[in-house]
Amino acid sequence: MEKLLVIEDSILQSRILKDLLTENSFAVDTAETGSIALQKMTANLYDMVLMDMVLPDITGTQLIKHIRLLPGTYDLPIIVLSGLTDKENVIESLGMGIHDYITKPYHPNELINRIRIHLGIRSTHKRLAESNAANDKFLSVLGHDLKSSLTLLYSAVSLLEKIDEDKIQGANIIQEAKRTTLQVNKLLDELLLWGRMVNHGIVQQNERFDFNEHARLCLAKLRDDIANKGIECNDEIKSEAFVYADKNMIEACLRNIIFNAKKFTLRGGTITLTSQSILIEGRPYNQISIIDNGIGLASEFVKNHFHRSSLSIEKDTEGNVGLGLGLSIAMEFIEKNSGKLQIQSERGKGSCFSIQLPAAE
């Protein structure tokens, strides 16, 4: 619920306006003077200010200047409600950064509509700013990720050119080049998927399927790659558990999380998949958990993925820097399918990622 501050010295006008705003689902605070208004704005955060230009202790223009000097108010919508109708006063007020000027008496519906318009504009600007900040960091780390992988690939191929006799060493370098190429390819796949996702280019197609069997098949596809790193796979998935969701989206989630478990598990470690039926707020869900005993994730990394306006960088067992783009995509897809992703991780002990989807009837 948006919180509005009404600055009006007339008790009657203030009460009428407060009742109107409250009826339209706004939280309302009031101030009879400019000094009281500034005190309240210092102690509280408001989504909008509605103010009269004639106040007992300070002029409206002076109050606007003081408001704009307060932290975090540079984009705060200010609507003036005033009986002053001369053009010079209106132009002066608009030039000081107010968002709207409505003369008294005003029509209630017009006022409510204008309030909602300005709140909507501010909300959109805020989302765009958060998105741009996340995109800037994402592109920066992505460039580093691609550059690091391509540098490794180039070094491997360069060494291979110099090898004439040492076939074993040459074979090792070829394997390293193949591994790095696959990493770059996976990163580009995730980038394309992310691009389609943010541009609403993915059409969701839900169907009823066996979540447990689907998870088992995903693990089977990645088993050889996991074994090549010397990691043991354990399948402790139980029998049938049906969900109604987009099968391809869920497969992408499972694949990314299992792949991440491999990246953050040392040679000789284990990755285990388990399943169970649970209740969340009285509703049945089917859960698949991907558990590893690897190096674990930093708490800041986990927290930032639940608040995706801020992405973090993390290193895997081989020291490769990653953005966690696959995990961000997985979280987005799970939410699109009315599911939840629970993450438990501790440095040096490993991680547990649990995908929870509503059970199909």
CB contact at 8 A, 48 and 115: yes
| Inter-CA distances, 297 with 69, 196, 203, 290, 342, Å | 41, 28, 32, 14, 14
CA neighbor of 290 nearest in space, from 309, 270, 310: 270
What mean pLDDT value characterizes the chain?
82
User: Could you read off the pLDDT of 61-91 as tens digits, one per residue?
Assistant: 899 989 988 988 888 999 998 887 776 767 7
pLDDT of res. 225 = 83
CATH classification number, 133-202, choose in 3.40.50, 1.10.3470, 1.10.287, 1.20.950: 1.10.287
Highest mean pLDDT among 13-22, 180-189, 224-233, 307-316: 13-22
Mean pLDDT over 339-358 rounds to 92
Residue 348: which region, alpha, beta or left (left: phi > 0; alpha: psi -120 to 50)? Answer: left
DSSP letter at 268 equals T
Render 185-239 in DSSP notation, one character per residue.
Answer: HHHHHHHHHHHHHHTT-----EEEEEHHHHHHHHHHHHHHHHHHTT-EEEEE--S
280 has which bridge partners?
A: 283
Higher pLDDT, 4 or 138: 4
Encoded amino acid at 11, one letter: I
User: Could you read off the pLDDT of 297-333 as tens digits, one per residue?
Assistant: 877 766 665 554 445 555 555 555 454 666 777 888 8
pLDDT of res. 74 = 83
CA neighbor of 183 nearest in space, from 139, 137, 214, 229: 229
Angle between the N-to-C axes of helices 325-336 and 167-198, in degrees from 0 to 180, rounded to the nearest 10: 40
Q: What HEC string does 142-181 produce?
A: HHHHHHHHHHHHHHHHHHHHHCCCCHHHHHHHHHHHHHHH
pLDDT of res. 109 = 93
- CA–CA separation, 120 and 116 (whole Å): 6
Higher pLDDT, 50 or 299: 50
CA neighbor of 50 nearest in space, from 109, 3, 107: 3
Tokens standing for 31? 């101030």
Contact partners, residue 125, CB within 8 Å, separation at least 6: 75
The answer to whether the Cα torsion of 241, 245, 247, 252 is positive or negative is: negative
Identify the weakest region by mean pLDDT among 17-21, 42-46, 153-157: 153-157
Q: How many CB atoms sit inside 10 A of residue 178's CB? A: 12
Contact partners, residue 279, CB within 8 Å, separation at least 6: 285
Asked whether the predicted pLDDT for residue 7 surpasses 90, the reply is yes
| Strand bridging mode 270-280 / 242-246 | unpaired
CA angle 233, 223, 346 (to 5 degrees): 45
pLDDT of res. 118 = 92
The domain segmentation of the chain, as residue ranges, is 3-106, 133-202, 204-361
| Strand bridging mode 48-51 / 3-7 | parallel
pLDDT of res. 138 = 62
Q: Omega into 105 within 30° of 0, i.e. cis?
A: yes
Angle between the N-to-C axes of helices 108-162 and 11-23, in degrees from 0 to 180, rounded to the nearest 10: 60
Asked whether the predicted pLDDT for residue 183 surpasses 70, the reply is no
End-to-end Cα spacing for the chain? 35
pLDDT of res. 323 = 45
pLDDT of res. 309 = 46
How is domain 3-106 classified at the CATH fold level? Rossmann fold (3.40.50)
| CATH number attached to the domain at 204-361 | 3.30.565.10
Residue 47: pLDDT band with limits 50, 70, 90: very high
- Whether 3-106 shares its CATH topology with 204-361 is answered no
The structure's pTM equals 0.52
Mean pLDDT over 221-242 rounds to 89
